[in-house]
């Protein structure tokens, strides 16, 4: 008799930002249809708000999460954000990705108080000065290493890692404007151009009133934002499995 792993693909999507943990578990039969889907949202009030900035805290907390949700043997996809995340545009004298990486590394353009960063870059566009604007997303290298190692040591597979701005950009793949997501007092804003996250800002504001959408969208020429409805795919997951828009949005990974 063939094992279950040969018949199903098991993927778990984790949204790790601050003390709120979102998990979406999904299994698909080998020929495509969803066999199982389950979502969880937990508030870890006793954890440090900036635990994702500490390799030690990551090594302590991530195995607990994988054990709690029974994710040994699963493919793990992570969305991560934290106070040490960098998301910015760098003008460089090249449109070649390999050369751009070498320039960034050699000139310490991501040097933050001497801490090494792992980074990715995309979307070069020529600016008025004849340089190429690269969108660069970066996170402390020791934290990335601790996260990946913790997943592997727990018997799971690290399948993908997205920074929060890149993930939020998936919600408006053709958008021109500002997409905001609020949780508690934290307001995450991503400036999109043709769906590409060009800039990211983190602000504090008043908590949302009950029933107010956590997602808002402000088009380029608009004076103010409006609630951002879920995509059709996200809406189907919300309705079928009784999940919040934020947790169901993980299906877009």
Can you tell me whether residue 67 is helix, strand or coil? helix
| DSSP E strand stretches across 141-185 | 157-163, 177-183
pTM for the full predicted model: 0.91
Tokens 């020429």 sit at which residue? 221
pLDDT at 56 (0 to 100): 98
pLDDT in tens, 57-109: 999 999 999 999 999 999 999 999 978 899 999 999 999 999 999 999 988 88
pLDDT band of 1, cuts 50, 70, 90: very low
pLDDT in tens, 205-234: 998 888 889 999 999 989 899 999 999 999
Can you tell me whether residue 24 is helix, strand or coil? strand
CA 5 from chain centre, in angstroms, equals: 27
Phi, psi of 86 (to 5 degrees): -120, 130
What does the DSSP 8-state code read for residue 173? Answer: T
Q: Cα separation of 66 and 203, whole Å?
A: 30
């Amino acid at each position: 008799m063939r094992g279950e792993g040969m018949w199903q693909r098991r993927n778990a999507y984790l949204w790790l930002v601050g003390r709120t943990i979102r998990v979406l578990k999904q299994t698909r039969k080998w020929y495509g249809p969803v066999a199982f889907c389950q979502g969880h949202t937990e508030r870890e009030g006793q954890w440090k708000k900036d635990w994702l900035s500490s390799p030690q805290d990551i090594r302590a907390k991530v195995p607990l999460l994988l054990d709690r949700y029974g994710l040994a043997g699963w493919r793990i996809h992570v969305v991560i954000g934290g106070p040490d995340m960098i998301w910015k545009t760098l003008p460089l004298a090249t449109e070649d990705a390999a050369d751009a990486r070498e320039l960034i590394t050699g000139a310490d353009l991501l040097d933050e108080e001497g801490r090494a960063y792992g980074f990715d870059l995309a979307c070069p566009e020529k600016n008025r000065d004849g340089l190429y604007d690269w969108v660069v997303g970066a996170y402390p290298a020791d934290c990335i290493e601790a996260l990946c190692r913790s997943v592997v040591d727990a018997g799971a597979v690290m399948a993908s890692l997205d920074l929060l701005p890149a993930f939020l950009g998936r919600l408006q793949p053709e958008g021109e404007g500002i997409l905001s997501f609020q949780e508690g007092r934290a307001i995450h804003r991503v400036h999109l151009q043709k769906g590409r996250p060009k800039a990211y800002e983190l602000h504090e504001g008043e908590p949302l009133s009950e029933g107010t959408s956590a997602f808002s969208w402000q088009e380029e020429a608009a004076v103010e934002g409006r609630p951002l409805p879920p995509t059709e795919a996200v809406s189907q997951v919300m309705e079928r499995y009784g999940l919040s828009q934020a947790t169901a949005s993980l299906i877009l990974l």
